[in-house]
């Protein structure tokens, strides 16, 4: 009898630990704290600076800053996602989100058109190279200019998308 009780007791412990093990192993979701507020403020500052740099013509710097801001917002999304999802946007925030989405889509569409036009001009430049070198050079310059404009518009579209992230995670600033 003692032996059967011991076996039952061991089996009971194994069953208990088998059921409780996965529950105990789960980590509670991370709470957004002061570190996340610092990340948020850094991302917002990067966005503001990137917008200024883009306006001033420093496209490469702006692109780098937008990329870093995007990385910070991605981190916030991963770590503060549950808290962010529980937050309901105000009517004004919802309207601003829609405006930003429309402006971003418009910028991307214009950038796509510029890219297509630049590619067409590059093809024309290649065709005109042998016979009309001046025309080829003109097409090449126009293509380069349109590529640069398209690049700026793509960056601007990304800034609009990240402004929505800024608004969504605005609760971290409080």
Entry pTM: 0.75
For residues 61-93, b (16+ Cβ closer than 10 Å) or e, as one string?
ebbebbeebbebbeebeebbeebbeeeeeeeee
Q: What pLDDT shows up at residue 32?
A: 78
* Rounded Cα distance, 130 and 132, in Å: 6
**Alpha-carbon distance 12 to 116, whole Å?**
70
**List of residues 6+ apart from 53 with CB closer than 8 A:** 59, 61, 62, 65
Specify the pLDDT at position 71: 96
Cα–Cα separations (whole angstroms), residue 36 to 28, 53, 68, 87, 143: 17, 25, 15, 16, 43
pLDDT value, residue 141: 93
Q: What's the pLDDT score for residue 171?
A: 83
Phi and psi at 66, nearest 5°, equal -65, -40
Please tell me the predicted confidence (pLDDT) of residue 17. 55
Residue 63 contacts by C-beta under 8 Å, 6 or more apart in sequence? 50, 151, 155
DSSP 80: H
- pLDDT value of position 76: 92
**What local confidence, expressed as pLDDT, does residue 57 receive?**
93
Q: Give me the tens of pLDDT residue by residue for the chain, a chain 174 residues long.
A: 555 554 555 555 555 555 544 544 454 545 777 889 999 999 999 999 999 999 999 999 999 999 999 999 999 999 887 777 777 888 998 999 999 999 999 999 999 999 999 999 998 888 888 778 888 889 899 999 999 999 999 999 999 999 999 998 888 877
């Amino acid at each position: 009898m003692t032996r059967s009780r011991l076996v039952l007791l061991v089996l009971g412990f194994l069953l208990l630990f088998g059921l409780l093990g996965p529950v105990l192993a789960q980590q509670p979701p991370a709470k957004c704290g002061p570190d996340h507020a610092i990340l948020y403020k850094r991302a917002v500052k990067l966005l503001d600076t990137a917008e200024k740099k883009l306006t001033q013509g420093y496209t490469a710097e702006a692109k780098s800053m937008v990329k870093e801001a995007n990385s910070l917002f991605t981190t916030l999304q991963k770590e503060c996602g549950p808290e962010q999802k529980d937050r309901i946007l105000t009517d004004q925030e919802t309207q601003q989100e829609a405006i930003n989405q429309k402006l971003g889509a418009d910028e991307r569409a214009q950038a796509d058109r510029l890219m297509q036009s630049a590619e067409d001009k590059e093809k024309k430049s290649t065709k005109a190279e042998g016979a009309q070198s001046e025309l080829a050079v003109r097409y090449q310059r126009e293509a380069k200019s349109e590529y640069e404009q398209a690049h700026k518009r793509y960056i601007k579209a990304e800034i609009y998308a990240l402004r929505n992230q800024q608004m969504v995670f605005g609760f971290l600033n409080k």
